[in-house]
Structure 1
Amino acid sequence: MPDRNDKLTVALKKHFGFDKFKGNQEAIIQNLLDEKDTFVLMPTGGGKSLCYQLPALLMGGTAVIISPLIALMKNQVDAMRNFSEEDGVAHFINSSLNKAAIEQVKGDILSGKTKLLYVAPESLTKEENIDFLRQIKISFYAIDEAHCISEWGHDFRPEYRRIRPIVTEIGKHPIIALTATATPKVQLDIQKNLGMVEADVFKASFNRENLFYEVRSKTNNVDKDIIKYIKSQGHKSGIIYCLSRKKVEEFAEILQTNNINALPYHAGLDANTRSANQDAFLMEQVDVIVATIAFGMGIDKPDVRYVIHYDMPKSLEGYYQETGRAGRDGGEGKCIAFYSFKDLQKLEKFMQGKPVAEQEIGKQLLLETAAYAETALCRKKVLLHYFGEEYKVRNCGNCDNCVNPKKQVEAKDLLLTALEAVVALKEKFKTDYVINILRGKETSEIETYEHQDLEVFGSGDDADEDTWNAVIRQAIIAGYFDKDIENYGLLKITKKGKDFLKKPVSFKITTADEEDLEDDDNIDDVVVKGGGGGSAVDPVLFSIMKDLRKKMAKNNNVPPYVIFQDPSLEAMATIYPITMEELQNIPGVGAGKAKRYGAEFLQIIKKHVEENEIERPEDLRVRTVANKSKLKVAIVQAIDRKVALDDLAESKGIDFAELLNEVEAIVYSGTKINIDYFLHEVIDEDHLDDIFQYFQEAESDDLEEAINELGEYSEDEIRLVRIKFISDMAN
């Protein structure tokens, strides 16, 4: 008799088309099937939804999923219906439904068809809904986006605080709470509020290996930088986050003026426009959404290739959640934030007038954001530390600080001078005033207080304003200064600062490169490492299938990825399934999906195979493809088998330079290859390191520039190491 785990894997394959669970999904699902309260911390893209979708299908009764956004509910319901042959399997009840639609939903639930019912917390409080839910058999409650419960969470929703008393009133059943971001403090707050302190906690690693994190100085050219970046990405999907609705609309208009297919999204738009703009993005009718943080919570679009923050968010949790919307399919995801400390100061000013406790929370969250933006450490290390996780890798190779380490300078004497100035001013002035004193700037305010006569006046005139701002800002982050919350912004010296005055220790600050501050056209020079989207062996077939998917999506009025996700299409363009049985062996293709959509895909794959005389040996890792690509495929296969490159060129009847042209084309198109076995045979280790380091530090990969700069090495050596560099760092 098969054990429970085998049964779960069979059910996973049957309903969702996957052969195995990700991370700790299986343990979470089993815990819920055992009717135990369950708390799940799992990053975006980790497969949170499956943790309640599969148990809902397997358990008797209906699971009640409490979810914060109407758009998210519709998205999830569409996805569930596409996994199943029965449309009634999932429903939602919210304010967008009329009375007749609600009666239809209730009819399906009472008939036993519905396994998942999505409700907003506001709908849950309505007396008629409470009465109805008391009549039905409930399998469990799932609280999605559970961080909305916590005042320390980044999307605090007061109505989430009322969930516990309401579910108690409806009837006691197991609870699963799920969130993609929660610090230990937020986690405890959620558990206390839901009365599930004793719940079993499942915490996945918050490390998203495929995401590249980068923070850029925000200059006057930020609009140009973003436009240039978007245009370099072709028609890939991207999200731009702005903090204000006004900026969202303005910037969406700027993008449109620059021939970029973009739409705005924020809570101030009427519901129809908002819904239409979101659907246009999901259906791939537009490439870019410019949005406030209202957009994207739980939106299951797997192929967002970049998330850009026009403004730094108010908290690191918000930042992590928003960047997590990139690369959910495990493919390429670039996260770029534009940072200006002045932006955070503005946010701090907006908090004035709020209760002191709320200001204190907000101020702490902003400080953590500033610390992340200004750090010279690996960004992944800083982010994961924030979520209570230790990241032991020294260099992630996937953030700007690891790829291009920041310069740090010793600033012990500068900090000492700043502390002495604050002491002389009796801790009664703000940063700007302190900097004017240090630089010896005679303002009318300084003359009023007669502070030009103080000994510290002009004591720091050898450093400019930007340096002093960096010293004080990073000293606040390091805990030497504090800002008085009651008297907004007055600089105070902490105990750590007083200790430093008695016994100074090393204090290093990060300084922005002048090139970063002045900015020019070199905005795309950072080399990105990470999974690349679209790594199908047969790009022609992949493209044909994407067109078919788009057409079917339009006819079925669902987003393209609901039909088949990119990794499934990539596998089809590699394995060439031509029967229903073969199609169901493709990752992400279950029986329901194969039956619903498979026939047309099998038809075009079969036609493509016949027209191009493609061999389909099941054991070949890399398939032969259309004639144009045969040489490239043969080269990749030979390199996989570690054939010496000079032998390979000879066997193909081409000279070595021609072979290098082909290999360069392969790596520049995004395919990762490993020629280390050959490099170690033909290039001295020190020479290899020299050339590799040159490309790490160079502003471009131009071959002529490299040959001029690296005169002692041959062109072939430089080209070979450049191939390794691009493959290692960019693919």
Structure 2
Amino acid sequence: MVTPVSETEPSEALRTLRRVFGYDAFRSGQQEVIEHVVEGGDALVLMPTGGGKSLCYQIPSLVRKGTGVVISPLIALMQDQVDALRALGVRAGFLNSTQGIDERRTVEAEFASGELDLLYLAPERLRVASTVELLDRGTIALFAIDEAHCVAQWGHDFRPDYLMLSGLHERWPDVPRIALTATATQATREEIANRLDLAGARQHVASFDRPNIQYRIEPKADAKRQLLAFLRNEHAGDAGIVYCLSRASVEKYAEFLTDNGIEAVPYHAGLDAQTRALHQARFLREDGLVVVATIAFGMGIDKPDVRFVAHLDLPKSVEGYYQETGRAGRDGQPSTAWLAYGLQDVVNLRKMIDGSPGDEAHRRRQSRHLDAMLALCETVECRRVQLLNYFGQRGEPCGNCDTCLTPPETWDGTVPAQKVLSTIVRLDRERRQKFGAGHIIDILLGKRNAKVAQFDHDALSTFGIGTELRDTEWRGVVRQLLAQGHASVEATYGSLVLTESSGEVLSGAQKVLLRREPERQKTARAAKERKDRKAPVELSADAQPLFERLRAWRAATAKEQGVPAYVIFHDATLREIATVRPATLLDLAAINGVGENKLNKYGEGVLETLTEP
């Protein structure tokens, strides 16, 4: 949904949107926020990744007198953000620890003399007295606090330096502030507002729905095989991100993909800064590269053509999952959020929570986050509806998630649940012993392996009473018992233990309904459905060669200028050019995404490319 630009008396903000960014319409909610900040008001803005948050502070910075100061934790991306703005003709600069003294002095002089439209700062720079003195010497149009969820102290991406940003209003009381994030529940919004002293700010909460993303979650069996099949069958040659919890897993899966013909690089905090910077730069500038990463990677990545985000470990919270999956499909094209998770993921995260720093209230918050994530994984309803409900928004079944496309069934798992819990009871009360899920399942299946023999567990009354289910099915039972809170994990060794509700299940007072995983689609069918989903945005047969020619021109131009290809033009702009085939610069100026500066800089090159034989 977009807000049409007035044809009678467009405001300065609307004229700036046309002239600089090349768009004739604001997206839903943008205009109201922008006009409010232009007039000097404070705002707290929640928009999904790819929803156009940056325009909400960029345009007011261009319209208001002075320089917009953007507080961002994304030091590694500031150069790319500035390059993208400069390509639009915006005078932008940054100050951070990666610069030499001469470069810093140049930027400082430009700010002090009013020659910058936007200045990016890392929050820690505000601890430096010279930075504060510099800001006092210039004229500040506004303060933009990007990635504002970083202020949430027990959130998924807390940054201690964000806590001091409430002082901005005290030192510069007449400068409007706008805080922006893609991910926040009502409770997190309240925390952001309180910690940043924005309780009186206008709040704008856009829809969290990303209809172009297909959400899929499946049980983890053989993670390597599952990932490889997913990439080969559905995303061959596509750029994407694969998330793992540990550095060791990142290295393992990056090597595995490379060995199997998929170009992949690792990214985690254990790599040296130069390697991390190189891998990030390659991901931004190259087509079809896969980054295997911990959650240290991705915040602020503005690459529009990320076609998939895959998780090989269970995220700790719905907020983290939503933010990470939101890095796919920023261009609005069909993309996939794919997650494989298993019983051991649940066990590991429960152990991490019990052993985490912080008080009991903090551990309860972490447990609630995990419970919500497990509920999303185990739901038999539409994933998108569950996701939107978590953020306080209503939704209708989407028809584009796995539970809509292949609805799972529920079954009465009370008796299997009682068998698991009875085994835990007998080990604890009769033997004073505790064991993990794998050993309990071996007992139920009647496996006389070395461990069972060592502890004489074939003498238990529950030995061999669970042969009606396979090993993988029993793991699903245990996983869902943990998800529903009918069993828990002991922190030290990961042993299964009873909870308050276990007794009700054992007595039969509590019925246990479990999710039965549907048969997964055959590869050919999945590929066909993916192709069908892409059909509405496919180019015509005669436009496709033009689009590829334009992409080749863009790649060469980007390489020559040392910037990511999307800084030149997004794919959506090239698609429109290939379809409309503008014959003059005036025609080209009417294309979405072709602003004044880009028209002057690239217009002739585009027209020459279109007329090549």
Which of 374, 381, 391 is residue 378 of structure 2 equivalent to?
374
Structure 2 counterparts to residues 48-197 of structure 1, below 5 A = 48-84=53-89, 89-165=91-167, 168-169=170-171, 173-197=175-199
Report the AA paired with residue 76 of structure 2.
A
Task: Show structure 1 runs of 5+ residues with no match.
Answer: 612-731
TM-score normalised over the length of structure 1: 0.74
Which structure has more relative contact order (CA 8 Å, sep 6+)? It is 2
Contact 2:151-2:162 within 8 A present in 1 as well: yes
Contact 1:124-1:166 within 8 A present in 2 as well: no
- The total of aligned residue pairs comes to 598
Q: Distance in 2 between matches of 1:472 and 1:119?
A: 48
Q: Distance in 1 between matches of 2:536 and 2:110?
A: 39
1:474 aligns with 2:476: no
Contact 1:69-1:120 within 8 A present in 2 as well: yes
Q: Deviations over 1:141-180 (max 9, x none)?
A: 1111111111342112222222223553455522211111
- Using the TM superposition, give the Cα deviation of residue 59 of structure 1 relative to its aligned residue in structure 2, in angstroms: 0.6
Q: Distance in 2 between matches of 1:152 and 1:530?
A: 38
Report the AA paired with residue 561 of structure 2.
N
For residue 40 of structure 1, what is the aligned residue in structure 2?
A: 45
For residue 577 of structure 2, what is the aligned residue in structure 1?
A: 572
CA 1:76–1:550: 2 relative to 1, 3 Å: same
CA 1:359–1:37: 2 relative to 1, 3 Å: same
Q: Deviations over 1:384-413 (max 9, x none)?
A: 12212121x23x121111111223322234
- Please identify the structure whose Cα radius of gyration is greater: 1
For residue 288 of structure 1, what is the aligned residue in structure 2?
A: 290
For residue 369 of structure 2, what is the aligned residue in structure 1?
A: 365
For residue 328 of structure 2, what is the aligned residue in structure 1?
A: 326
Task: Show structure 2 runs of 5+ residues with no match.
Answer: 1-5
- Using the TM superposition, give the Cα deviation of residue 255 of structure 1 relative to its aligned residue in structure 2, in angstroms: 2.5
For residue 549 of structure 2, what is the aligned residue in structure 1?
A: 544
- Using the TM superposition, give the Cα deviation of residue 418 of structure 1 relative to its aligned residue in structure 2, in angstroms: 5.1
1:583 aligns with 2:584: no
Between the two proteins, what is the percent identity of the paired residues? Answer: 37
Which of 401, 411, 414 is residue 413 of structure 2 equivalent to?
411
Which of 203, 206, 229 is residue 204 of structure 1 equivalent to?
206
For residue 10 of structure 1, what is the aligned residue in structure 2?
A: 15
Q: Distance in 2 between matches of 1:95 and 1:140?
A: 23
Q: Distance in 2 between matches of 1:565 and 1:200?
A: 31
> Cα RMSD between the aligned structures?
3.3
Q: Distance in 2 between matches of 1:325 and 1:245?
A: 20
1:390 aligns with 2:394: yes
Report the AA paired with residue 536 of structure 1.
L
Q: Deviations over 1:191-243 (max 9, x none)?
A: 111111222111111110011111233223x3244334434434322222222
Q: Deviations over 1:315-353 (max 9, x none)?
A: 222211111111111112112112122123223334525
Report the AA paired with residue 361 of structure 1.
R
Q: Distance in 2 between matches of 1:83 and 1:523?
A: 43
What is the DSSP-based 3-state SS (H/G/I as helix, E as strand, rest coil) of the residue aligned with 2:411?
strand
Report the AA paired with residue 194 of structure 2.
K
What is the DSSP-based 3-state SS (H/G/I as helix, E as strand, rest coil) of the residue aligned with 2:579?
helix
- Using the TM superposition, give the Cα deviation of residue 271 of structure 1 relative to its aligned residue in structure 2, in angstroms: 2.2
Contact 1:431-1:472 within 8 A present in 2 as well: no
Contact 2:457-2:463 within 8 A present in 1 as well: yes
For residue 271 of structure 1, what is the aligned residue in structure 2?
A: 273
Shifted more, 545-554 versus 223-232: the winner is: 223-232
For residue 710 of structure 1, what is the aligned residue in structure 2?
A: none
1:554 aligns with 2:551: no
Contact 1:584-1:590 within 8 A present in 2 as well: yes
1:593 aligns with 2:594: no
CA 1:454–1:228: 2 relative to 1, 3 Å: closer
Q: Deviations over 1:467-515 (max 9, x none)?
A: 44433432343344455779976634336x66666774653212345x6
For residue 223 of structure 1, what is the aligned residue in structure 2?
A: 224
For residue 31 of structure 2, what is the aligned residue in structure 1?
A: 26
Q: Distance in 2 between matches of 1:461 and 1:281?
A: 48
CA 1:591–1:254: 2 relative to 1, 3 Å: same
Q: Distance in 1 between matches of 2:145 and 2:536?
A: 32
Shifted more, 117-126 versus 248-257: the winner is: 248-257
- Using the TM superposition, give the Cα deviation of residue 270 of structure 1 relative to its aligned residue in structure 2, in angstroms: 2.3
CA 1:133–1:525: 2 relative to 1, 3 Å: same
For residue 358 of structure 2, what is the aligned residue in structure 1?
A: 355
Contact 1:63-1:117 within 8 A present in 2 as well: yes
What is the DSSP-based 3-state SS (H/G/I as helix, E as strand, rest coil) of the residue aligned with 1:527?
helix
Q: Distance in 1 between matches of 2:405 and 2:524?
A: 16
Structure 2 counterparts to residues 410-559 of structure 1, below 5 A = 410-416=412-418, 432=437, 462-481=468-487, 491-494=497-500, 504=509, 507-512=512-517, 527-528=529-530, 530-531=533-534, 535-537=538-540, 538-559=543-564
For residue 345 of structure 1, what is the aligned residue in structure 2?
A: 347
